[in-house]
Amino acid sequence: MKVFIKTLKGTNFPIEVNPDDKVVDVKKKIEESQGAEVYPAAQQMLIHQGKVLKDGTTLEENKVLDNNFIVIMLSKVAFLGTRTLGL
């Protein structure tokens, strides 16, 4: 099935997925499709119908259907270096 990934910039792009795909696998497909420098899988947060999708769940469990939209956000990476902590 095809779902559309909607960015916070207002653009979207389609990806092919299966209902039994886990969210973590969808994140990897997005990373492969758009590039790790743009959407690294480890930083992705996927949201469907106002609910953050958990990595271990499937699209079917989250009621994601063909032609649905999933919003993508990137979380900030926490750096533990002394400079970012101001120590």
Instruction: Tell me the percentage of the chain whose pLDDT exceeds 70.
Output: 87
**Beta-ladder partners of 58:** 22
Domain with 66, as residue range(s), is 2-74
Q: Is residue 39 part of a domain?
A: yes
- The enclosing domain of 29 has a CATH number of 3.10.20.90
Contact (CB, 8 A) for 21 and 59:
yes
The token pair at 60 is: 């079917």
Any domain includes 87: no
- DSSP alpha helix (H) spans, the chain: 23-34, 82-85
Question: Taking residues 32-54, what's their average pLDDT?
Answer: 97
* Residue 86 pLDDT exceeds 70: no
Q: Would you call 41 helix, strand, or coil by DSSP?
A: helix
Q: Report if residue 82 sits inside a domain.
A: no
Number of domains in the chain: 1
| Alpha-carbon span 29 to 7, nearest angstrom | 15
Q: What is the pTM of this model?
A: 0.85
Does a structural domain hold residue 28?
yes
